[in-house]
Chains A and B, each alone.
Chain A
């Protein structure tokens, strides 16, 4: 029989409360993390979009549709001369989609690597065309033709799969690196390193190299599951995808190493998850496109490595992009992120401890 002594249980509860009361970081986390997360999720899920760049080729016959689309404040309209111009700009990723209007026909060109954005463009074009048809005395009807420049056969998993690959690697590398550094500190080996010819740059570089081996193994496995298990296409070279993931992993490692300075135990490392990992998931533009993230939060998205890694991985896997295609801004941003936090992590490994 299970006996429950209320007094003893109370003693345990009191001790837990006392300990937590003295752990200001946990109190802060319990109070503020939900506010931050709910705000982020709330905005991301609000369904509003802004900054969608839509090409428009006006071949005449659809004045109402044209003014309807021009009236949507979330869309930034770029006027183009021909459908082939629109195709080219969508291929380059400079347009999210385009509407080509000819008398009796509306062609909607889409990049379905982001299903939410292509869905929004199509929905607006259809709504505009319906309004136009209703206003005519005699319903002549509009023929809407949808053309996917990318991803005509894509499903949700295809568009998020590449980003999941990045997320998995980022998450595990960050946590493992932070825990490893906390352990080096708590077991005293870091202090021993400090009194050896090993330099701080060598310590962090050694970690990056050592972890890269496992990042590679982890990425290869995840890549296989994503492509073979879930049928996400791999139109570019798997080696290019692995290169992106390695660079992201290196960034996650130095970030983990940097943040380990603010944790005294593995428990405190886990507390970084809602603060460091979750915002990346919400703001990286995978589950919700960057265009649906409010403009005042969007600059944060552009500071997060997962934003660039997801973009690059989607380009490689879904559009067949090669290294030169993703060099700017994705690889450059990931490279800068790595270098900045490499320097920060190295500087934080102080030899003199007070």
Chain B
């Protein structure tokens, strides 16, 4: 049963980790609350994997204070049965069947036979591999392997899940199933920390932390991040008489960007302004563009 204390599930203060002359974590400070899907995003080499490995005690930190499930990281091994860790490696036995792989990992956590069978069936169903139960893991495709790896990570129903790029090679439909499952886990009070390169995935996280050069440069809900970056929605308008219409809009105080082909772009302060724009001009076509996380991160990176 997941504990539902108020303490953050992971609390990091001023973490520093050097690999020779490379500083992988640079005064990293962050709190990850319980029951959230927390997306760690950032460019390659920004320290995401290093941070995950520090949380599970696989790295010795040079400086800083790190608590995991209310315990100092030096004692994290006492609570390994409450943590699920999926590495970027596929971490499976190719010469065992899917069932045998899952049985093995269930065995490590001392799950009894009846419960084990229930969980194996449920997880294989979730990752859509139920019909391959007796197949050797080594014969699976890359995406299937990844799904099995996730199932093995979930077998002991951990309350803190650390997933290092879990959806690489997984098709979009199944990726959605994963995310639905993560939602279910967080609704049960579990926490899912996930590293990803995919911004559409990051958008699904309740909280996103953007890492750059070993630091957390921004953290919050996707909406908060966009606001923090100062990004606003814009309208794309295909105007009947671009010159005339643009000056009409400018007269009403809008900044009109005509740079991109025939479509004009107008930044909006709020969605209420759409009506005002349409009162001024009647475009051939229009599209409302919400700012994306990617744009927000790019903006934040420029400022960092």
A: residues with CB less than 8 A from B are 187-189, 191-198, 351-354
Contact = CB atoms under 8 A, between A and B. Distances in A.
Chain B, interface SS category? loop
B58 A353 contact: yes
Interface stretch (B78-86, B116-124, B195-203, B279-287): B78-86
A191 B58 contact: yes
B3 interface: no
B108 A187 contact: no
B59 A197 contact: no
A187 B58 contact: no
A352 B60 contact: yes
Contacts of B56: 195
Contacts of A351: 57-58, 77
Nearest to B60: A352
Contact of A188 (B81, B90, B108): B90
Given A195-B83, A196-B80, 10 more contacts: A187-B94, A188-B88, A188-B91, A189-B92, A189-B93, A191-B58, A196-B109, A351-B57, A352-B57, A352-B58
Given A196-B108, A353-B59, A189 B91 contact: yes
Given A195-B83, A196-B80, A187 B89 contact: yes
A187 B91 CA distance: 5
A75 B109 CA distance: 62
Of the listed residues B85, B91, B93, the one surrounded by the most CB atoms of chain A closer than 10 A to its CB is B91
Q: In the A-B complex, list the 10 residue pairs whose CB atoms are closest, starting with the nearest.
A: A188-B89, A188-B91, A195-B85, A192-B91, A352-B60, A195-B56, A196-B108, A188-B87, A197-B81, A189-B91
Contacts of A197: 80-81, 108-110
Nearest to A202: B108
Contact of B87 (A192, A196, A352, A354): A192
A189 B90 CA distance: 8
A194 B83 CA distance: 12
25 contacts: A187-B90, A187-B94, A188-B88, A188-B89, A189-B91, A189-B92, A191-B58, A191-B91, A192-B85, A192-B91, A192-B105, A192-B152, A193-B108, A195-B57, A195-B80, A195-B83, A196-B80, A196-B81, A196-B105, A196-B108, A352-B59, A352-B60, A353-B53, A353-B58, A354-B60
Contacts of A196: 80-81, 105, 108-109
